[in-house]
Every structure is written in C-alpha cells, then in structure tokens.
Amino acid sequence: AFERGSLEAKALPLLKILVFKRASSSPYALMTTVNRMLAKRAVSDPKAAERLVSTVRSFLGVDFGDYALDVEPDEFINEFLEHASFMLSDEDAEELSSLLEQARRMVESGGDSKLKALLSLLESVVAEGLKAVVFTEYKDTLEYVYAYLAKAKPEWRLLRLSSEETRNPDAFNRIRETFERDPKAQILLATDVVAEGVNMQVANILVNYEVPWSVIKLEQRIGRVWRLGQKRSVEAY
C-alpha cells in the first residue's frame, strides 16, 4: 500500500493503464512502450513524473475530447514513461518482459488479427471505389498500420496525417489536396491531431482502429465525415 497522495499512488496506476491502452491499440505500440519503460527504470526524476501526472490523467479522462492537442499523445506519454518507470519493481519488469516478447512474436509472425480485419475491410472499400479514413490514437500505431498496408497492397495510394505532416504546411497541403481530388487516393490514415482544413466528407467510411475512451472524441471523428457536403451514407466501424 502506498501513502495516499504519494507519487507512487498517483503514477503507478497510470503506468498500468497506459500499458493496457497501448496493448489494445497494437502490439507495436505495446512494444515501444514496454521497451521505453524497461530502458528507463534506472532513471529517477520524481519531479518531472509528478508534473506530467495531470496531463496523462486528462488524456485518459472522459473529457479528453475537449482537450486541445498540438502534439501526439505518444509524445507526452513517452515523456511520462521516461520519468516514472523508476518506480517499477523487479516483478513488474519481469511481467513486462513477458508481454514484450509476446508482442514481438505477434509483430514478427504477422499474427495480428485486427490488422488483417482492417485490410479485408479496406479491400472492399477500394473495390467499390469509395474512400475511407482510419483514425488511431497513437502515431506508433499509425506507422505500424501504414507499413503493413503499404507492404500488403503496394498498388494502393495510401495517405497519412499525423503531427509530422500537419507541422509541415507544404506536406499538409499536398496530402489534403490529394485526398480531396485524386480518386485513386482512397485511404487516409490519421491521428486525432488533424487540422480542420481537411475535407473528410469526400470519404464515407470511418474506421476507429481502437475505440477512444472519450465519447466526445468518437463523435468528433464521425462528425469529420458525416457533415454538410456528404453525399453518401456514412459507415463507422
């Protein structure tokens, strides 16, 4: 038991929840998280960890849909992990190492059933000449999904939007115009850090690669596709 109000009492539950959320997103996101946690166990910075507790809580909270982000959640989550992982016990580290090995085997063997289900759905989208937006909370997961689809379907014109692209006006405008105007650019992968300037109602298929805990965030995503100017029925997965 930890003293009420202590850093351990506040931070350790958040570490466990973050591992769970990242695992439910993708095995690759879990790998990057656990690798960072194990690598940073020897680093001690309680003040920095304390400072980030409220930010991580706001991300996990149901009101996160109203939380304006100009960075990816990955960025402040990774910072929190770097400063808080010193609290992990040897038993925690052993369990995390086991999870890491499971995630690594899944990624290397191609045994991710959710990824395969996404590919099957998008094959139908492309065959019907439609457009789809695939949202994920994490940039790590976006990169994982993008790499898989690019390898499985090199003939597809895939687009991606994360903070990396939105911070570069030229890259952002190029992606925006391509998705809006090119009928062959049918799949857009995006994190929630997406500028309002993207005309997403050119797509009528929305995929939440993992369901956000905030209902507000879920509604915001659907509202990016199901809005004025939409000419088709919208399907949200």
User: Over the stretch 1-47, which tens digit does the pLDDT of each residue have?
Assistant: 444 457 778 888 888 888 899 999 999 999 999 998 888 887 767 88
Beta-strand relationship, 187-190 and 132-135? parallel
DSSP tag of 232: S
Quick check: 48 pLDDT over 50? yes
The torsion angle over the Cα atoms of residues 146, 190, 33 and 76, rounded to 10 degrees, is 150
User: Over the stretch 170-229, which tens digit does the pLDDT of each residue have?
Assistant: 998 999 899 999 999 999 999 988 766 678 889 999 999 998 888 888 888 898 899 888
Asked if residue 131 lies in contact with residue 120, where contact means CB atoms within 8 angstroms, the answer is no
Alpha-carbon distance values, 66 to 22, 116, 226, 235 (Å)? 21, 32, 19, 24
Asked if residue 27 lies in contact with residue 103, where contact means CB atoms within 8 angstroms, the answer is yes
Put simply, whether the predicted model's pTM sits higher than 0.85 gets the answer: yes
Asked if residue 162 lies in contact with residue 193, where contact means CB atoms within 8 angstroms, the answer is yes
